[in-house]
């Protein structure tokens, strides 16, 4: 009997030790409903149509309480002025983490005048992620369910400072951290990743711009099935997309600057019901 008591106590001690060293469970990540109607509002918020189930908004905006909300975050370039993360902010606080020209001026995305974050080394990647963790946390605190990580193609504008492999390494860590917070992460464009975006980096779904216009939609279908959300900016590509995959994949046509409802340039169309 005495020996049995010692064995029982020993077993309990082992169980306590085991519980004390176990890893905390990663929160469950919720995915958007594939094929559900969505609205792309990164140019400014407005009340979505009652039939919209998924809304994408900038991280500085408030999500819509009764929808699936995606938090837009410019993961590899600077944010719009004057918010934290703008080009001015990076130059003032972390100038050494921007890609620079030989004269010391930052390399800019020629279309949007955004600075490009220098993810060329493990140390730089970690420093940039340390800064962005606060913004990821903010998406979670604001009650977004997912993040849209933009500019996966910034290596094409970085004057050779880094390549696609550096982008993959940075985004692996970015996605891992977001998942630890219970946030899904959308691959934004980056069709050249093929299925490595899902398989190796860990993206959960995709948001694409002009994949029909660039003949890339099949790349997202091969990686994510029907769980990608397609924005087209021209009527021809939009109509062809609706004919090819409307009713399975969620497709909208927006104006190029995704301005809010009420603006004279506002365009927001969905595929006609079949």
The one-digit pLDDT tens for each residue of the chain (274 residues) are 444 343 444 444 444 444 445 556 778 999 999 999 999 999 999 999 999 999 999 999 999 999 999 999 999 999 999 999 999 999 999 999 999 999 999 999 999 999 999 999 999 999 999 999 999 999 999 999 999 999 999 999 999 999 999 999 999 999 999 999 999 999 999 999 999 999 999 999 999 999 999 999 999 999 999 999 999 999 999 999 999 999 999 999 999 999 999 999 999 999 997 5
- Tell me which CATH code domain 36-270 carries: 3.20.20.70
pLDDT tens, 42-96? 999 999 999 999 999 999 999 999 999 999 999 999 999 999 999 999 999 999 9
Q: Tell me how many degrees the CA angle 233-235-237 measures, rounded to the nearest 5.
A: 75
CA distance 22 to 15: 11
Secondary structure letter of residue 191 according to DSSP:
G
Which sequence spans correspond to the domains of the chain? 36-270
Q: What's the pTM? A: 0.89
Judged on CB neighbours under 10 Å (0-12, 13-18, 19+), 196 is: middle
Backbone φ/ψ region at 214: left (φ over 0), alpha (ψ -120 to 50), beta: alpha
Both tokens assigned to 97: 């983490």
pLDDT of residue 25: 73
Contact 243, 265 (CB under 8 A): no
Secondary structure letter of residue 151 according to DSSP:
-
Which residues, other chains included, contact 271 with Cβ-Cβ below 8 Å and sequence gap of 6+?
A: 238, 241, 242, 246, 247, 251
pLDDT tens, 160-179? 999 999 999 999 999 999 99
């Amino acid at each position: 009997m005495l020996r049995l008591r010692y064995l029982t106590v020993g077993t309990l001690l082992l169980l306590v030790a085991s519980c004390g060293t176990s890893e905390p469970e990663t929160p469950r990540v919720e995915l958007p409903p594939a094929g559900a109607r969505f609205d792309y509002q990164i140019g400014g918020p407005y009340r979505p149509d009652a039939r919209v189930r998924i809304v994408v908004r900038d991280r500085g905006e408030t999500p819509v309480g009764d929808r699936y909300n995606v938090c837009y975050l410019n993961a590899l370039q600077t944010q719009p002025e004057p918010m934290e993360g703008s080009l001015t902010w990076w130059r003032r606080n972390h100038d050494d983490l921007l890609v620079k020209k030989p004269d010391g001026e930052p390399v800019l995305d020629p279309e949007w005048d955004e600075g490009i974050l220098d993810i060329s080394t493990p140390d730089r990647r970690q420093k940039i992620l340390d800064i962005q963790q606060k913004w990821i946390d903010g998406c979670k605190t604001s009650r977004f369910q997912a993040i849209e990580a933009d500019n996966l193609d910034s290596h094409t504008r970085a004057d050779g400072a880094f390549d696609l492999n550096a982008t993959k390494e940075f985004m692996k860590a970015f996605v891992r951290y977001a998942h630890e917070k219970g946030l899904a992460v959308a691959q934004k464009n980056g069709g050249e990743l093929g299925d490595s975006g899902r398989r190796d980096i860990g993206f959960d779904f995709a948001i694409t711009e002009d994949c029909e216009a660039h003949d890339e939609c099949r790349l997202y279908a091969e990686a994510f099935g029907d769980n990608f959300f397609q924005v087209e900016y021209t009527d021809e590509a939009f109509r062809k997309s609706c004919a090819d995959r409307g009713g399975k994949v969620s497709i909208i046509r927006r104006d190029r600057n995704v301005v809010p409802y009420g603006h004279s340039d506002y365009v927001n169309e969905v595929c006609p019901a079949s």
